[in-house]
Amino acid sequence: MKKALLLSRREMIKNSALLLASSTLDIPHNYAPKFQIGACDWSVGRQLSPEAFDRAKQIGLHGIQVSYNTGKDEKGLSVPETLQIIRDASARTGVKVSSLAIGELNRVPYKSQPKTEEWVWNSVDAAKALGVKVILLAFFSDGDLRNDDAGKNAVIARLKKVAPHAEKQGITLGIESWLSAQEHLDIINAVG
């Protein structure tokens, strides 16, 4: 690592103390932070749940990346009632839905499972309904694309089908994976 990026133990303690001290300051209620901070719903222990918004508000987050679905609820945000529960939790707490994610693609790979095409397509509609612009598509574990040309080609073919729908709705499909930057660019260029 670059030396400039490393913190000594003393610097880390000093910075932590400064952060703690600053948190005790009386900041006006109308203060708008320059940057807003959010987290994934699974990071706050409440995947695809309105409780994620309560926890986010409690710990001072401004947004939550909501899981489109879960292993227990594969339809997820395609169900109008579930979509409304998330919308209501966001309105009630003031915590925004910052984006959507389909983490289930780590377990049920987009590259090989036909039902995932429906998930991605429907997640675009859910994102539009929630007013968010980005959907994270995860490619880890069983969905890993490293050294898998056939898997990459399948993902490209599937993205080519859904990309016009996402583009029409103003939604960006983001890929999170172990692939290199060049491999990501290759997929983007192949999808067009």
* pTM flag (> 0.85): no
Average pLDDT, the chain: 91
pLDDT, tens only, 74-86: 999 999 999 999 9
pLDDT given for residue 1 in this prediction: 45
More confident residue, 35 or 178: 178
Q: Options 3.40.50.10860, 3.20.20.150, 3.20.20.70, 3.30.465.10; which CATH number does 36-191 get? A: 3.20.20.150
Instruction: Look at residue 102 and tell me whether its pLDDT is greater than 70.
Output: yes
Separation of alpha carbons 167 and 90, rounded Å:
25
Q: Please, which pLDDT band fits residue 90 given cuts at 50, 70 and 90? A: very high
pLDDT given for residue 29 in this prediction: 60
pLDDT, tens only, 2-42: 555 566 677 777 676 666 666 666 656 666 667 889 999 99
The alpha-carbon radius of gyration of the chain (Å, integer) is 19
- Tell the burial category of 40 from Cβ atoms under 10 Å away from its Cβ (0-12, 13-18, 19+): middle
